[in-house]
Structure 1
Amino acid sequence: MLRAAARSSVGQALCRGLATLPADHTGLLELRQYTMKPEGIKEFLRLTTETVELRKSLLPFLGMFTCDTGGVLNRVVHFYWYRDFDHRDTHRAASGSNAEWQDGYLAHSRRCLSQQESSIFVPTAGVMAAAGAAPVQDFAAPVEQAKKPALYELRQYQLKPGYDGVPKLVAAFQQGIPHKVAADKQGSLVFFGHTEVGMLNSVIELWRYPSAQACHDARKAARGVPEWRDCIAAVTPGVEHFSSSFMQPCAFSPMQ
């Protein structure tokens, strides 16, 4: 009975994936990571809160998060989605010529920063579809969780140099992730993709959970799934290192 139920859950996950056409998982995701001066993060968030509507009007803003644990703590992570590089250039030009944005926000907020980093990721359509995930630009929290606090986990993999690292990892995840999703009743995959610009052979996963404990419980559940263990065994030899960060959405973040 248990095996039949497990097969049913995986089948449902696969059906959800097939219902989400890979063609929807297109475009570019820009990941921006800002490291703050320890004394600057409160002021940065104050300025950003006051000008968030301007940000939304100028840029395809998806979400902004502070790091709770895992890596540099005085860090703000934010995401933007573009159809292509021309779309990005258009928005960057508009923000670059906006006096309120340049002189009223950036000129002041930059004083809070010690480092800025930007990377561009391409969504991995097959993995997103296999997980039954919506395109990142359309992501919304599950209805039953939408008005409750959330935690986002950002997982970053650095693969060994070479052309075959990303394809091998993607193939393994496409096979394994429906089984992970079937075992995880609380998590939602928000994004899975690999670098187009930045540190190459990098892969990121972004997951939403109702709490840190829910994320921990999901990991334990996944470790008991043979198909997921096979997936991790297949990708581990090609990974140089990976990291996990727990992040909390800012109050003004579209992603909550």
Structure 2
Amino acid sequence: MLASRCRLSRALAPRVRAPQVCSSFATGPRQQDGTLYEFRTYCLKPSKMNEFLENFKKNVHLRTAHSELVGFWLVEFGGTMNRVFHIWKYDNFAHRTAVRKALAKDKEWQEQFLIPNLAHIDKQESEITYLVPWCKIERPAKEGVYELATFQMKPGGPALWGDAFKRAVHAHVDQGYTKLVGVFHTEYGALNRVHALWWNETADSRAAGRHRSHEDPRVVAAVRESVNYLESQQNTLLIPTSFSPLK
């Protein structure tokens, strides 16, 4: 009898739902839009940098006939030198697979573009990234320099640190200290990694804006919150090449 009453009490008791973790930086909206961005970095032999760039400029149309090149830059400062960094856009993973298959059959691309350039590359790295749901790629109105700020965040994903990171980014943008091109987070590569791509008119204007932001209490407060979830950060100054769509 007592056991029956206990079962009845449990049945009538209000059910307590488990708390749900929500974030505007969550992965749901990203997965509905399958567009992905491949970040490729080539470490080149120092004596072959100019030759590589000339060949790329001459034959880049053979590669862009297959998929969209977002931007192509020389690494000026930050980390290993003699590097080039480029971003390629794909509709989804199936699109990228189809492009790679088509390139494998493209004799002109292989003979004029791929084979000559391979001899100049010491190492190459690739990451697959998505744009965060709350931004899109903004194309600067004129030529300038770019900065790729790479943040290694603590494990836990966007549900943990996404909102704080978003507030830190917007604090810089809203005050006009720099121009945001796009924010990407890594799907393949080091996880919990976020890349913010910024544009400035010159390296000196970037330095001036950064100094002003350090004295702005609105930016300082937002950044202080975000760094609670930060493990490391690396900034790279990028110079667009003459054939880069993003100048």
Q: Specify the TM-score bucket, using the shorter chain as the normaliser.
A: 0.7 to 0.9
Give CA deviations for 1:44-96 in whole Å, capped at 9, x if unaligned.
10110110211221221111100111111200000011121111112222222
Corresponding residue for residue 7 of structure 2: none
Instruction: Output aligned runs, 1:178-217, within 5 Å.
Output: 178-184=170-176, 187-217=178-208
Q: Whole-Å Cα distance in 1 between the matches of residues 77 and 167 of structure 2?
A: 30
1:151 to 139, 145, 148: 145
Q: Which structure shows the bigger proportion of residues in helix conformation? A: 1
Corresponding residue for residue 116 of structure 1: 124
1:163 to 130, 136, 156: 156
- Residue 140 (structure 1) aligned with residue 139 (structure 2): yes
The 8 Å contact of residues 152 and 246 in structure 1, kept in 2 or not, is answered as yes
Q: Whole-Å Cα distance in 2 between the matches of residues 80 and 215 of structure 1?
A: 26
Q: Whole-Å Cα distance in 1 between the matches of residues 77 and 120 of structure 2?
A: 20
The 8 Å contact of residues 37 and 74 in structure 1, kept in 2 or not, is answered as yes
CA apart distance, 1:246: 0.6
The 8 Å contact of residues 176 and 227 in structure 1, kept in 2 or not, is answered as no
Corresponding residue for residue 107 of structure 1: 115
Q: Whole-Å Cα distance in 2 between the matches of residues 250 and 50 of structure 1?
A: 12
The 8 Å contact of residues 75 and 239 in structure 2, kept in 1 or not, is answered as yes
Query: TM-score if structure 2 supplies the norm length?
Result: 0.82
Instruction: Output aligned runs, 1:52-63, within 5 Å.
Output: 52-63=60-71
Letter in 1 for 2:150: Q
Corresponding residue for residue 6 of structure 2: none
The 8 Å contact of residues 148 and 238 in structure 2, kept in 1 or not, is answered as yes
CA apart distance, 1:26: 6.0
CA apart distance, 1:121: 0.8
- Residue 30 (structure 1) aligned with residue 38 (structure 2): yes
Q: Whole-Å Cα distance in 1 between the matches of residues 226 and 34 of structure 2?
A: 24
Q: Whole-Å Cα distance in 2 between the matches of residues 141 and 232 of structure 1?
A: 25
Letter in 1 for 2:201: P
Q: Whole-Å Cα distance in 2 between the matches of residues 55 and 255 of structure 1?
A: 17
The worse-fitting range, judged by mean Cα deviation, of 230-239 and 69-78 is: 230-239
Query: TM-score if structure 1 supplies the norm length?
Result: 0.79
CA apart distance, 1:221: 2.3
CA apart distance, 1:170: 2.0
SS in 2 for 1:51: helix
Letter in 2 for 1:169: W
The 8 Å contact of residues 62 and 113 in structure 2, kept in 1 or not, is answered as no
List gaps (5 residues or longer) in structure 2. 1-28
Q: Whole-Å Cα distance in 1 between the matches of residues 33 and 76 of structure 2?
A: 29
Corresponding residue for residue 228 of structure 1: 219
Identity %: 28
Q: Whole-Å Cα distance in 2 between the matches of residues 188 and 200 of structure 1?
A: 25
The 8 Å contact of residues 43 and 122 in structure 2, kept in 1 or not, is answered as yes
